[in-house]
Protein backbone atom coordinates (compact mmCIF):
# COMPACT_ATOMS: atom_id res chain seq x y z
CA UNK A 1 0.00 0.00 0.00
CA UNK A 2 1.34 3.42 -1.00
CA UNK A 3 1.86 5.88 1.89
CA UNK A 4 -0.49 8.37 0.19
CA UNK A 5 -3.16 5.73 -0.25
CA UNK A 6 -5.91 5.60 2.38
CA UNK A 7 -7.16 2.06 1.70
CA UNK A 8 -5.48 -1.22 0.70
CA UNK A 9 -5.09 -2.02 -3.02
CA UNK A 10 -7.48 -4.98 -2.93
CA UNK A 11 -10.31 -2.74 -1.66
CA UNK A 12 -10.20 -0.40 -4.66
CA UNK A 13 -10.18 -3.28 -7.12
CA UNK A 14 -12.96 -5.28 -5.48
CA UNK A 15 -15.28 -2.29 -5.11
CA UNK A 16 -14.81 -0.89 -8.61
CA UNK A 17 -15.08 -4.30 -10.26
CA UNK A 18 -17.93 -5.40 -7.94
CA UNK A 19 -15.82 -8.45 -7.10
CA UNK A 20 -16.35 -9.01 -3.38
CA UNK A 21 -16.59 -12.68 -2.31
CA UNK A 22 -20.38 -12.69 -1.89
CA UNK A 23 -20.37 -16.50 -2.06
CA UNK A 24 -18.87 -16.34 1.47
CA UNK A 25 -21.39 -13.83 2.82
CA UNK A 26 -22.78 -13.83 6.34
CA UNK A 27 -25.95 -15.86 6.97
CA UNK A 28 -27.48 -12.77 8.64
CA UNK A 29 -29.84 -10.49 6.80
CA UNK A 30 -29.57 -6.77 7.54
CA UNK A 31 -32.26 -6.74 10.23
CA UNK A 32 -30.63 -9.64 12.10
CA UNK A 33 -27.21 -8.08 11.65
CA UNK A 34 -28.28 -4.71 13.10
CA UNK A 35 -29.88 -6.42 16.09
CA UNK A 36 -26.64 -8.28 16.84
CA UNK A 37 -23.90 -5.80 15.80
CA UNK A 38 -23.53 -2.05 15.52
CA UNK A 39 -22.08 0.36 12.98
CA UNK A 40 -21.52 2.92 15.75
CA UNK A 41 -18.22 4.81 15.31
CA UNK A 42 -17.45 2.93 12.07
CA UNK A 43 -16.23 5.08 9.18
CA UNK A 44 -17.86 5.44 5.78
CA UNK A 45 -15.78 4.22 2.85
CA UNK A 46 -18.59 4.96 0.41
CA UNK A 47 -21.83 4.18 -1.35
CA UNK A 48 -21.19 2.37 -4.64
CA UNK A 49 -24.12 2.30 -7.05
CA UNK A 50 -23.57 -0.27 -9.80
CA UNK A 51 -25.73 1.53 -12.36
CA UNK A 52 -23.73 0.20 -15.30
CA UNK A 53 -24.97 -3.35 -14.84
CA UNK A 54 -27.82 -3.58 -12.31
CA UNK A 55 -29.78 -1.83 -9.60
CA UNK A 56 -27.60 -2.89 -6.68
CA UNK A 57 -25.76 -0.68 -4.24
CA UNK A 58 -22.79 -1.69 -2.10
CA UNK A 59 -22.24 0.17 1.15
CA UNK A 60 -18.67 0.03 2.45
CA UNK A 61 -17.44 0.82 5.96
CA UNK A 62 -14.33 0.54 8.07
CA UNK A 63 -16.04 -1.37 10.86
CA UNK A 64 -15.07 -0.22 14.37
CA UNK A 65 -13.79 -3.36 16.06
CA UNK A 66 -14.05 -1.81 19.53
CA UNK A 67 -17.77 -2.68 19.50
CA UNK A 68 -17.36 -6.23 18.16
CA UNK A 69 -17.44 -9.34 20.35
CA UNK A 70 -13.87 -10.61 20.93
CA UNK A 71 -14.79 -13.96 19.33
CA UNK A 72 -15.39 -12.08 16.06
CA UNK A 73 -12.45 -9.66 16.19
CA UNK A 74 -10.34 -8.41 19.07
CA UNK A 75 -11.18 -4.76 19.65
CA UNK A 76 -8.61 -2.11 18.83
CA UNK A 77 -8.65 1.65 18.44
CA UNK A 78 -5.98 1.37 15.69
CA UNK A 79 -8.09 2.08 12.58
CA UNK A 80 -5.73 0.27 10.17
CA UNK A 81 -6.58 -2.97 12.02
CA UNK A 82 -10.36 -2.53 11.69
CA UNK A 83 -12.16 -4.91 9.33
CA UNK A 84 -14.12 -3.73 6.32
CA UNK A 85 -17.86 -4.32 6.22
CA UNK A 86 -19.88 -4.45 3.00
CA UNK A 87 -23.64 -4.47 2.59
CA UNK A 88 -25.11 -5.15 -0.83
CA UNK A 89 -28.69 -4.08 -1.48
CA UNK A 90 -30.56 -5.35 -4.55
CA UNK A 91 -33.37 -3.71 -6.51
CA UNK A 92 -32.55 -0.27 -5.14
CA UNK A 93 -35.29 2.27 -5.83
CA UNK A 94 -33.79 5.37 -4.19
CA UNK A 95 -30.55 6.65 -2.69
CA UNK A 96 -30.50 10.03 -0.96
CA UNK A 97 -28.54 11.95 1.59
CA UNK A 98 -29.43 14.84 3.86
CA UNK A 99 -27.69 17.33 6.13
CA UNK A 100 -24.18 16.72 4.81
CA UNK A 101 -21.81 19.58 5.56
CA UNK A 102 -18.16 19.87 4.54
CA UNK A 103 -15.92 18.43 7.25
CA UNK A 104 -12.55 19.48 5.78
CA UNK A 105 -11.08 16.00 5.37
CA UNK A 106 -12.58 14.39 8.48
CA UNK A 107 -13.96 10.92 7.83
CA UNK A 108 -17.66 10.56 8.68
CA UNK A 109 -18.24 8.28 11.65
CA UNK A 110 -21.55 6.42 11.88
CA UNK A 111 -23.87 7.22 14.76
CA UNK A 112 -26.41 4.48 14.07
CA UNK A 113 -28.50 2.63 11.50
CA UNK A 114 -32.03 1.32 11.31
CA UNK A 115 -34.09 -0.59 8.79
CA UNK A 116 -37.85 -0.84 8.45
CA UNK A 117 -40.32 -2.17 5.94
CA UNK A 118 -42.89 0.32 4.60
CA UNK A 119 -45.33 -0.17 1.74
CA UNK A 120 -43.54 -3.23 0.35
CA UNK A 121 -40.04 -1.74 0.41
CA UNK A 122 -37.15 -1.75 2.86
CA UNK A 123 -36.02 1.64 4.12
CA UNK A 124 -32.48 1.86 5.49
CA UNK A 125 -31.33 5.02 7.28
CA UNK A 126 -27.72 5.48 8.36
CA UNK A 127 -26.93 8.53 10.49
CA UNK A 128 -23.48 9.93 11.05
CA UNK A 129 -22.28 11.69 14.20
CA UNK A 130 -22.26 15.06 12.39
CA UNK A 131 -25.99 15.04 11.58
CA UNK A 132 -25.72 13.64 8.06
CA UNK A 133 -27.95 10.84 6.90
CA UNK A 134 -27.89 8.37 4.02
CA UNK A 135 -31.26 6.86 3.11
CA UNK A 136 -31.82 3.90 0.81
CA UNK A 137 -35.04 2.30 -0.36
CA UNK A 138 -34.78 -1.19 -1.83
CA UNK A 139 -37.10 -4.09 -2.67
CA UNK A 140 -34.59 -6.88 -3.21
CA UNK A 141 -32.36 -9.01 -1.05
CA UNK A 142 -29.44 -7.84 1.01
CA UNK A 143 -26.09 -9.48 1.65
CA UNK A 144 -23.39 -8.76 4.21
CA UNK A 145 -19.72 -9.66 4.26
CA UNK A 146 -16.81 -8.56 6.42
CA UNK A 147 -13.19 -8.70 5.32
CA UNK A 148 -10.04 -8.33 7.39
CA UNK A 149 -7.53 -5.61 6.46
CA UNK A 150 -5.60 -8.22 4.44
CA UNK A 151 -8.73 -9.02 2.37
CA UNK A 152 -9.49 -12.39 3.98
CA UNK A 153 -13.07 -13.15 5.03
CA UNK A 154 -14.02 -12.39 8.64
CA UNK A 155 -16.66 -14.82 9.87
CA UNK A 156 -19.67 -13.07 11.40
Give CA–CA dist 113/123, Å, rounded: 11
Cα(16)–Cα(122) distance, rounded to whole angstroms?
Answer: 25
**According to the model, what pLDDT value does residue 38 have?**
92
pTM of the model: 0.91
Q: How many CB atoms lie within 10 A of CB 82?
A: 23
Q: What is the 3-state secondary structure (H, E, C) of 47-84?
A: EEECCCCCCCEEEEEECCHHHCCCCCCCCCCCHHHCCE
Q: What is the pLDDT along the chain (156 residues), one digit of tens a residue?
A: 455 677 899 998 999 888 999 999 999 999 999 999 999 999 999 999 988 888 999 999 999 888 887 878 776 667 677 899 999 999 999 999 998 877 777 778 899 999 999 999 999 999 999 889 999 999 999 999 999 999 999 999
Residues contacting residue 1 through CB under 8 Å, at least 6 positions apart: 7, 8, 9
Amino acid sequence: MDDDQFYPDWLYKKLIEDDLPWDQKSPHDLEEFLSKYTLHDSFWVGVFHHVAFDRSVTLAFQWDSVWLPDEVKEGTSHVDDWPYLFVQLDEVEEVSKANFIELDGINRAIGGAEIMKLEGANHLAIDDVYGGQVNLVFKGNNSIIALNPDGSVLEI
